[in-house]
Structure 1
Amino acid sequence: MSALQRVAVHVAVEAGGRLLVLDDALPWALLAHGETPLAAARRVLGPDLDLGELLAVHDGRRTDGEGVFGLDLHTVHLVLAGTLPDGSAPAVAQWIPVSDDWPLVADDRVALDPAERVRLSPAVDSAPDSTSADVPVVRQRLACYAVVVADGSLLLTRLSTKTPSPGRWTLPGGGVDHGEHPLEAVVREVHEETGMAVRVTGLAEIGAEHFTGRSPRGVLEDFHAVRILVRAEPLEVLDPVVLDVGGSTDLARWVPLGEADDIGLVGVAQRGLHIALQG
């Protein structure tokens, strides 16, 4: 059975206590390889759309068939606030009263065409002596990272020599496993990388980065990194200890907010520091 993971971007446009829907659900689009959430949403609602805060993260599961031809599809649904200029909503749009539940498209209504199935299938690394070794392997990776602040310090982890940026600092967090809710993934990853038990207290933002480069295994990758950032707090403030020894993290520490910008942060950690300084 094929285990595939994908990301769906949903847009919540509110006006006068009403919510814009298309076909009884929030406007949505599957995130294509290399695409930003804004670009995906604009495919549905037009170039005048602007996106705001990350409002919700849900996940769904759909299983079809059995054996090698079966499908185990894990869809992570991201709901973002959206704004449209007056008069620019699609003519077929409907407006419904805002409620406590987001009207998300059902997983069984989200078709999976053959091209998308190929794109989402786990890529196989080329052998070192393969003639296709210089053809990039296409990968989209969903990850979730935590902005954890205590006593004026930010929890950070140092990237090991197994990563493309050894010695630089990032937020604790990592990849979302197939079938795993992103908010459960980040709690697991923070514990593995810092020994700290945390509780997610809020959503921060969603970002994406697309580049071609060598993986820690030396494989050339056409890589699409999709990153969810959340706020979290430790259940108990401890001295960090890396539990997952030999992985992508070789050190974890609390860094005073006023010093964090000087120790060599990667991009996602710079975003995390900005969020932390906002309070």
Structure 2
Amino acid sequence: MSDLQRVAVHVAAVAAGRLLVVDGVLPWALLAHGETPLAAARRVLGPDVVLGELLAVHDGRRAHDGLDLHTVHLVLAGTVADEADEAVTGGRWVPAPDDWPLAADDLVALEDAERVRVSPVTDGSVPVVRQRLACYAVVVADGSLLLTRLSTTTPSPGRWTLPGGGVDHGEHPLTAVVREVHEETGMAVRVTGLAEIGAEHFTGRSPRGVLEDFHAVRILVRAEPLEVLDPVVLDVGGSTDLARWVPIGEAEGVGLVGVAQRGLQIALHDGDRGRG
């Protein structure tokens, strides 16, 4: 049985105490290869939808048609046009419930296009289709941001990123980020909030030299250390060769990759909000 991990995007649009549902559940779409969460949402709700913060993360796992399916469900705040219920078949506004009504995991059907990610590729000139879900933590203590330096096993050696990494098959993303932060910095952390979801799509060679059609899907969360320690890399020989606390005011100058730049913006925004 082959493993297949995928991401479903659910939109929670609330207006005047009412929630938009389609056939009784949040409108949702399975994230297609190379697609952004916003593009997925617009496939089901039209071009006027705007996505906001990440509200919830759930996952489900089941065997189906020879595959071990691990589906990560992401609930995002959304703003839609007032007439969205008329434009979407089965759409209507209902009193906002206490819990988000999600589509049942077994209704998130397997799409034929997904099978390409588990199909063997024998021609080295043809890119291997790969979608990778990862979760990263914005960890701030005493005015400093926890960062990790990418090793020579990565495409960006010497640059700095947020602690975190890939979500293993069958692993909940919030479990994954706690595990990854500990492996990369030696610190135990607690997730305190969700931040956002982003995606990037490109074709290039992996550090192993494999040509990949690569879809990176990244969850960002806020976390705090159970105890502030000097960071120590425990997973020696992996993607991280150094970890340290960097004063927020100096972080922009150390050479940040894109996900760390977003993490810095979140940390700055949180700091401004706290002072307000």
TM-score, with normalisation over the residues of structure 2?
0.94
- Indicate conservation of the 8 Å contact 1:5/1:120, yes or no: no
- Identical-pair percentage: 82
Secondary structure of the structure 1 residue equivalent to 2:153 = coil
2:239 is aligned, of 248, 264, 279, to 248
User: What's the CA shift for 1:125?
Assistant: 6.8
Say if 1:169 and 1:134 are closer, same or farther in 2 by CA, change over 3 A. same
1:153-205, CA deviations, whole angstroms, 9 ceiling, x for partnerless residues? 00000000000000000000000001100000000000000000000000011
Give the aligned partner of residue 86 of structure 1. Answer: 82
Q: Kindly report which structure 2 residues correspond to 1:80-119, keeping only aligned pairs within 5 A, or say none.
A: 80-89=76-85, 90-91=87-88, 92-116=90-114, 118-119=115-116
Secondary structure of the structure 2 residue equivalent to 1:143 = strand
- Indicate conservation of the 8 Å contact 1:6/1:120, yes or no: no
Give the aligned partner of residue 129 of structure 1. Answer: none
Secondary structure of the structure 2 residue equivalent to 1:184 = helix
1:107-159, CA deviations, whole angstroms, 9 ceiling, x for partnerless residues? 1112113332x1342x6576xxxxx2222111000000000000000000000
Structure 1 segments of 4 or more deviating over 6 A?
none
1:183-234, CA deviations, whole angstroms, 9 ceiling, x for partnerless residues? 0000000000000000000001100000111111011111000000000000
Give the aligned partner of residue 274 of structure 2. Answer: none
Q: Kindly report which structure 2 residues correspond to 1:35-54, keeping only aligned pairs within 5 A, or say none.
A: 35-54=35-54
Say if 1:175 and 1:29 are closer, same or farther in 2 by CA, change over 3 A. same
The more displaced of 179-188 and 10-19 is 10-19
1:233 is aligned, of 224, 237, 257, to 224
Alpha-carbon RMSD across the aligned residues, in angstroms, is 1.3
Partner amino acid, structure 1, of 2:238: G
Residue 260 of structure 2 corresponds to residue 269 of structure 1:
yes
Tell me the number of residue pairs that the alignment of Structure 1 and Structure 2 aligns. 268
Structure 1, unpaired ranges of 5+: 127-131
Give the aligned partner of residue 206 of structure 1. Answer: 197
Partner amino acid, structure 2, of 1:248: S
What is the CA–CA distance in structure 1 between the aligned matches of 2:112 and 2:30, rounded to whole Å?
14
Structure 2, unpaired ranges of 5+: 271-276
What is the CA–CA distance in structure 1 between the aligned matches of 2:84 and 2:40, rounded to whole Å?
17
User: What's the CA shift for 1:70?
Assistant: 2.7
Secondary structure of the structure 2 residue equivalent to 1:103 = coil
What is the CA–CA distance in structure 1 between the aligned matches of 2:130 and 2:44, rounded to whole Å?
24
Partner amino acid, structure 1, of 2:111: D
- Indicate conservation of the 8 Å contact 1:48/1:88, yes or no: no
1:231-253, CA deviations, whole angstroms, 9 ceiling, x for partnerless residues? 00000000000000000000000
Secondary structure of the structure 2 residue equivalent to 1:259 = helix
Partner amino acid, structure 2, of 1:178: H
1:71 is aligned, of 67, 72, 75, to 67
What is the CA–CA distance in structure 2 between the aligned matches of 1:49 and 1:238, rounded to whole Å?
43
Say if 1:210 and 1:143 are closer, same or farther in 2 by CA, change over 3 A. same
